[in-house]
């Protein structure tokens, strides 16, 4: 994993397909749809290549590095000159991996920006993830137009369908070349974007002039060098209500325990933010902070003490927490990720066994809202974020940028090399201010040992 302090300016450079010689239609006083408008974008609003966003924002760290060597991201946004002629461009869009709130919002945003702002008329939606490029699966290609995407943001899921699994990159590139695709937008998490990088590398080997631009999707919010992934805010919103229900159930019972398992394979972002938003959780367990169940300062004795004094408790646990406590092998999923053992059911049984052994009357209510979180429509703020990501992705692709994802850094939209965004997992710092806020809010011990 690369840390921000070790980055060099060259690590943040974005690969391009060539010089931009085409005037952007966004500067015209005639819109792409043919209607007269006041200038879409004034000259001052075009982004120049020298516009950069610093990686670091702490002055003590900035002072350690000469100005010319400060690493900075390329700013996202429309360019005055673009690489592709919009009238000749053919675009492909694919959604991969698990469902996530906002997928349809991103698809809609891409189509609308391409059609109405750049005048692109050919947009193909590849069905069921990277399988959609492979002939043996037989999936149809969906032609995407403003008419058939105009309302899709009102529902969850993805109009294109999705799948997991590693598909042949040469076969994917063969498909792109057969269909004369010029731009491919990949909407998905780190596995999807690693696949996009391999597609881009295969294209480079063939000398292909196809832009590959990713829109990063992960509910867990764990992509590196991106402030927030789309879907994360909606996930916290739905999880908020699950924790409220668990707390209500726990409070109504004698020695009631409300246990909520939230998504977060390697990072506890959802758990931490939900705990702070509700202020109802008494214990938060995340992958970044190991814990012990037994012993004088273990989790189970602490829970028992809480129940004796307060008669109820609410627990939030991330799906990746406590994996070292559960025995057994689980294998890997279609994407090659290790299948995690069910910490929620395991913890429920451990709590039951411990309290029963201690002769303590109790009730445990267990809630796992994972699929409710994945499948709901995006919240308004998340939907807004999806639209802006889609617009930034179109601007980047039309200017010939490739092998990159769009994201937000320091509240600015930027271009991030795929290799950088997938170099590791963004995790909660056990010594950082977010985890400190959780400890202060819950009152739980810093360590269960």
pTM: predicted TM-score of the whole model, two decimal places:
0.92
Residue 4 has pLDDT above 70, yes or no: no
Place of tokens 């400060």: 70
Nearest in space to 413 (alpha carbons), one of 73, 106, 75: 75
Quick: pLDDT tens for 387-423. Answer: 999 999 999 999 999 999 999 999 999 999 999 999 9
Contact 212, 395 (CB under 8 A): no
Residue 367 has pLDDT above 90, yes or no: yes
Quick: pLDDT tens for 323-336. Answer: 999 987 666 666 66
Alpha helices by DSSP H, listed for 137-251, are: 146-149, 169-178, 190-206, 232-251
- Are both 4-229+376-421 and 235-374+430-442 of the same fold? yes
8-14-15-21 Cα dihedral, nearest 10 degrees = -130
288's CB contacts (< 8 A; 6+ apart) are 267, 268, 427, 428, 429, 430, 435
Quick: pLDDT tens for 165-177. Answer: 899 999 999 999 9
Rounded average pLDDT over 176-184:
98
What is the β-pairing status of strands 141-143 and 122-126? antiparallel
Rounded average pLDDT over 46-53:
90
- Residue 50 and residue 73: Cα distance in Å, rounded? 10
Phi, psi of 284 (to 5 degrees): -130, 125
Per CATH, which fold does 235-374+430-442 belong to?
Rossmann fold (3.40.50)
What's the chain's average pLDDT? 92
Residue 337 has pLDDT above 90, yes or no: no
Quick: pLDDT tens for 142-163. Answer: 999 999 999 999 999 999 999 9
- Residue 21 and residue 26: Cα distance in Å, rounded? 14
Residue 311 has pLDDT above 60, yes or no: yes
- Residue 377 and residue 364: Cα distance in Å, rounded? 30
Q: Which of 220, 222, 266, 382 is catalytic?
A: 220
Contact 127, 145 (CB under 8 A): no
How confident is residue 344, by pLDDT bands cut at 50, 70 and 90? Answer: very high
Residue 108, CB-side half-sphere exposure with 13 Å CA sphere: 23
Residue 442 has pLDDT above 70, yes or no: yes
Quick: pLDDT tens for 63-82. Answer: 666 655 688 999 999 999 99
**In CATH, what number does 4-229+376-421 get?**
3.40.50.450
Q: Where are the domains of the chain?
A: 4-229+376-421, 235-374+430-442
Burial class (CB in 10 A: 0-12, 13-18, 19+), 51: middle
| Radius of gyration, alpha carbons of the chain | 24
49 has catalytic annotation = no
For the stretch 72-106, what's the b/e string if a residue is b when 16 or more beta carbons lie within 10 angstroms of its beta carbon?
bbbbbbbbbebbbebeebbbbbbbbbbbbbbbbbb
Contact 369, 262 (CB under 8 A): yes
Alpha helices by DSSP H, listed for 30-89, are: 59-62
Residue 97 has pLDDT above 60, yes or no: yes
Structure tokens at 252: 């109504």
First to last CA, the chain: 28
Place of tokens 């990063």: 216
- pLDDT above 90 as % of the chain: 83
Rounded average pLDDT over 197-212:
97
Residue 204 has pLDDT above 70, yes or no: yes
Residue 36 has pLDDT above 50, yes or no: no
Residue 448 has pLDDT above 70, yes or no: yes
- Residue 388 and residue 377: Cα distance in Å, rounded? 17
């Amino acid at each position: 994993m690369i840390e921000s302090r070790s980055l060099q300016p060259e690590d943040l450079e974005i690969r391009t397909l060539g010089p931009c010689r085409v005037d952007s239609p966004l500067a015209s006083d005639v819109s792409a749809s043919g209607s007269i408008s006041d200038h879409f974008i004034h000259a001052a609003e075009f982004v120049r290549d020298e516009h950069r966003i610093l990686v670091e924002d702490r002055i003590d760290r900035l002072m350690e590095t000469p100005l010319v060597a400060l690493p900075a991201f390329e700013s996202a946004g429309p360019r005055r000159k673009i690489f592709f002629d919009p009238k000749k461009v053919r675009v492909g869009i694919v959604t991969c991996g698990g469902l996530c709130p906002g997928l349809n919002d991103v698809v809609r945003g891409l189509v609308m920006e391409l059609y109405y702002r750049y005048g692109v008329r050919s947009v193909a939606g590849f069905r069921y993830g990277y399988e959609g490029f492979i002939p043996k699966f037989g999936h149809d290609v969906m032609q995407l137009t403003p008419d058939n995407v105009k309302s899709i943001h009102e529902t969850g899921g993805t109009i294109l369908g999705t799948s997991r699994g590693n598909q042949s990159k040469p076969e994917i590139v063969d498909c792109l070349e057969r269909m004369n695709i010029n731009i491919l937008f990949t909407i998905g998490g780190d596995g999807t974007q690693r696949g996009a990088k391999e597609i881009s590398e295969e294209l480079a080997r063939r000398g292909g002039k196809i832009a590959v631009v990713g829109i990063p999707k992960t509910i867990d919010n764990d992509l590196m060098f991106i402030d927030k992934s789309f879907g994360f805010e909606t996930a916290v919103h739905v999880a908020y209500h699950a924790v409220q229900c668990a707390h209500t159930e726990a409070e109504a019972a004698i020695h009631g325990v409300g246990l909520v398992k939230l998504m977060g394979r390697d990072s506890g972002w959802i758990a931490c933010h939900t705990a702070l938003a509700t202020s109802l959780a008494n214990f938060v367990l995340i992958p970044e902070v190991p814990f012990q169940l037994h012993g004088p300062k273990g989790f189970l004795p602490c829970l028992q003490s809480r129940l004796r004094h307060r008669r109820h408790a609410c627990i939030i646990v991330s799906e990746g927490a406590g994996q070292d406590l559960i025995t057994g092998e689980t294998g890997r999923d279609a994407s090659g990720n290790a299948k995690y053992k069910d910490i929620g059911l395991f913890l429920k049984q451990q709590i039951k066994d411990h309290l029963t052994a201690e002769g303590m009357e109790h009730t445990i209510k267990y809630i796992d809202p994972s699929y409710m979180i994945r499948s709901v429509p995006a919240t308004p703020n998340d939907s807004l974020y999806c639209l802006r990501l889609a617009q930034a992705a179109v601007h980047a692709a039309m200017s010939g940028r490739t092998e990159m994802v769009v994201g937000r850094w320091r509240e600015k939209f930027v271009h991030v090399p795929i290799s950088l965004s997938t170099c590791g997992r963004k995790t909660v710092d056990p010594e950082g201010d977010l985890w400190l806020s959780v400890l202060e809010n819950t009152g739980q011990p810093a360590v269960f040992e």
